[in-house]
Amino acid sequence: MSIILRILFVVAGGIVALFVARDSLHFDLIQTWVSIVLMAVVAAIAGFWARRRKA
């Protein structure tokens, strides 16, 4: 589980780095928000994927 979270944080860091400077005071906060959104997207995709396989 921690490996998945680390991968999501790396991806979130890359996405946030495109829009926010790394030395910004809010970089960590925005990175956390983006990683939460990514986790929600991954969970939604997993849910729809499982639903699709049952149908």
Q: Domain map of the chain by residue range? A: 2-54
pLDDT in the model for residue 55: 61
* R_g of the chain, CA atoms, integer Å: 14
Sign of CA dihedral 6, 39, 11, 52: positive
Give tens-digit pLDDT for 1-55.
Answer: 789 889 988 999 999 999 999 899 999 999 999 999 999 999 999 999 887 776 6
pLDDT in the model for residue 53: 73
Could you give the CA distance from residue 22 to residue 31 in angstroms, rounded to a whole number?
10
Q: What is the pTM of this model?
A: 0.79
